[in-house]
Amino acid sequence: MDPNGNLLSQCDISAFSNDPRDIAFIPTSGRFAIADAGDNEVYQIDSSCNLLGRLDTATFGINTSVLTGIAYSSASGDTALTDSNRDAVLFVNPARPGRLKSQLSTAAVGSASPSGLTFFPQATGLFAVVDDSADEVFIVNASGSLMGRFDTALVLTATVPSGIAYNPTNLTLAITDNNSDQVKILSFPILNNFAEFCDCDLNKDGSCNILDYQRFIQDWGRSNCP
């Protein structure tokens, strides 16, 4: 779709995906990744909808039953999935697609029905989860701590928000609303108001711990720091 809302092209994925919930572009591979809630699989396709690969979440060894959203993290290179059955965000390393890298609970921050997510490239590890039951957006850091939230019903009159995407160029959030069948655009410069990371938080995960110390030791002795 172009900026004026005109459809540029379309293609059929029904041969392999019957319940697609979300799609993300993976720049490292040049592919699109589709989260399918019916099969609990992630399908990789090209721009002509040719199936290039697939990932069955059953290989994670956990009970994932409703994949609702997918996003790519440019900071870590991971693919992230929202699962509304586990109330969690699942992180997968594309280099090891059959294994679950980590997961964060969305229920811990108040989201019991996560339907989509998006990352903020200029704030390492920070991402937003949209919840279609609570009608809210939750801003979460890499440690799973809640950094902020807002009610989409009040701010955008979006009562069933299902998908979310962030445009870092103009600092806007786009949210799809299943109730009105509309896309709501919200200016979101508030990222600049979030608390700065601690100086000791070298890996920007929201905590100062042994992982930061390990990173410090790995860089000890460098003389080419920018």
Which domains can be identified in the chain, with CATH numbers? 20-195 (2.130.10.10), 197-226 (no CATH)
d(Cα 16, Cα 216) in Å, to the nearest integer?
Answer: 46
Residue type, 47: S
Collapsing DSSP to helix, strand or coil, 216 comes out as helix
Q: Residue 79 has what pLDDT?
A: 94
Name the residue among 192, 182, 185, 184 with its Cα closest to residue 123.
192
106: how many CB neighbours lie within 10 A of its CB? 25
| Res. 226 pLDDT band, cuts 50 70 90 | low
Q: Residue 32 has what pLDDT?
A: 96
In angstroms, the first-to-last Cα distance of the chain is 40
% of residues, the chain, pLDDT over 90 = 55
Q: Residue 97 has what pLDDT?
A: 78
% of residues, the chain, pLDDT over 70 = 90
| Res. 197 pLDDT band, cuts 50 70 90 | low
| Res. 190 pLDDT band, cuts 50 70 90 | low
Assess contact for 127 and 137: CB atoms under 8 A. no
- pTM given for the model: 0.81
The mean of the pLDDT values for the chain is 87
d(Cα 6, Cα 21) in Å, to the nearest integer?
Answer: 22
Least confident of 84-93, 156-165, 186-195: 186-195
d(Cα 215, Cα 200) in Å, to the nearest integer?
Answer: 10
Q: Residue 156 has what pLDDT?
A: 87
Assess contact for 138 and 111: CB atoms under 8 A. yes
Residue 189, CA distances (Å) to 71, 154, 166 in order: 21, 18, 11
Collapsing DSSP to helix, strand or coil, 105 comes out as strand
More confident residue, 117 or 159: 117
